[in-house]
Amino acid sequence: MGLWETIVGVLVSFFGRWENIASFVSVVSTVISICQFVVLRERKKQDAKMQHLLAGIRNSALRKCMAWSNQIQNQLETKNENDVEKLGFMMRARDDFAEIVSVVQALEGAVDPDGSAMMRLLGQDRATVQVTNQIREEGLRKSASV
């Protein structure tokens, strides 16, 4: 008698009939499916959190890059060698922050290639601005009619 026949024999002797074995296997496979669903759902939540974190880092680095660009624009009127060296440091800082932006954007795409947390955040900001504008227009209409 082989291993498979032994396992089937033990299951039949434990459960009594084939129908009971089929019911047991059905329950076990349902439980496994539910567990897989829960694990996948939690992973998607973690991925979304990671994407939002990366989007925040990207946004912060992008703002720093813009701030350094503004400082460079203010310093373009160089007077001496010290100012030229200072301008070089500013350009290097701007380039470093631009590199951080591109690396974080690549990491965000690696987490979820089909969606971008930055685009979702921009969509939420746009919706907020639209609601604010509607409220402002209604307030102006009410004050004009009074």
pLDDT(16) > 70? no
Find where tokens 């946004």 sit: 59
Contact predicate 54/104, CB 8 Å = yes
State the pTM of this model.
0.56
The 10s digit of each residue's pLDDT in 91-119 is 888 888 888 888 888 887 777 767 766 67
Nearest 10 degrees: Cα torsion 98, 104, 109, 110: 130
How sure is the predictor about 35, in pLDDT bands with cuts at 50, 70 and 90? confident
Write the DSSP symbol of residue 17.
S
pLDDT(43) > 80? yes
Q: What is the mean pLDDT of residues 66-95?
A: 83
At 31 the pLDDT is 86
